[in-house]
Amino acid sequence: MTLTQPAAELQRARTLKLWLAGTTILFFAFFAWITLFRAGPYGAPGHQWGSPAHRTDFTVYRDAAAAVLHGQDPYAIRNVRGWAYVYPPPFSIVMVPFALLPVPVSVLAWYFACAGLTVSAVSMSGRLAGAAFASDRKRLAIIFIPALIVSVWFTVGLTRGQASVLMSWLVIAAIFWEKKGRTAAGAACLAGAVLLKAFALTLLCYYAWRGR
């Protein structure tokens, strides 16, 4: 307890943190099932479960990684829906561990990895924006109100198995580490973002303009 925060306020902030943490866990658990279902169908014909429409981008990355693993061209493969891999080669190499897992397991592994990146991105953003606030409740508001605003966009990325969550994390991490004076870490994250999608070069141009 600090001199500026009475015990009652700290208790309210602690209760709010627990409530938000519980809600977040339930949120991710619920959408984990939706993500797994969307990436179907699974199983042999006649005994399949999951979405017959196969509404996911993840298997494009996984199949490209499998192609790399077997010495094939990742750009020549197509997933169940006929979608092609369009990202730079390094991303297909990064995804190789997921190609070693059964499809349902790899779908969930990618989902929870992206869920962790989402929490990390929100945390980093909150630490940057909330540093000027002494009150725990104000800091929580700074973190969760923006998170709520962008939750629809992040949820779409999560449930469709898209690389957008990883891309967002890399950009936010690049800004976060640069602000913290960890230039090498920030540069590594920015390089990863550029290797994933070229539009991250705009952030590089910003740093070049600032002389960083």
Lowest mean pLDDT among 43-47, 65-69, 85-89: 43-47
Task: Tell me how many domains the chain contains.
Answer: 2
Give the model's pLDDT for residue 200. 84
Residue 193 domain-assigned?
Answer: yes
Verify that 112 and 156 share a domain, yes or no. Answer: yes
Q: What is the mean pLDDT of the chain?
A: 88
Distance (Å, rounded) from C-alpha 206 to C-alpha 202? Answer: 6
In a domain, 96, yes or no: yes
Q: In terms of domains, do 112 and 80 share one? A: no
Statement: residue 1 has pLDDT above 50: no
Using alpha carbons, select from 21, 50, 57, 37 the residue that is nearest to residue 165.
57
**Same domain flag for 116 and 193:** yes
User: With 50 as the cut, is the pLDDT of residue 43 above it?
Assistant: yes
| pLDDT of 3 above 60 | no
DSSP-derived 3-state class of residue 78: strand
String of b and e for 168-177 (b: at least 16 CB within 10 Å)?
bbbbbbbbbb
Task: List pLDDT tens digits, range 11-41.
Answer: 777 887 788 889 889 999 999 999 999 998 9
Q: Please give the residue range of the domain that contains residue 85.
A: 52-100
- If asked whether residues 141 and 73 sit together in one domain, one would say no
- Whether residues 109 and 172 share a domain: the answer is yes
pLDDT digits (tens, 9 = 90+) for 100-149: 999 999 999 999 999 999 999 988 988 887 666 656 777 777 777 777 87
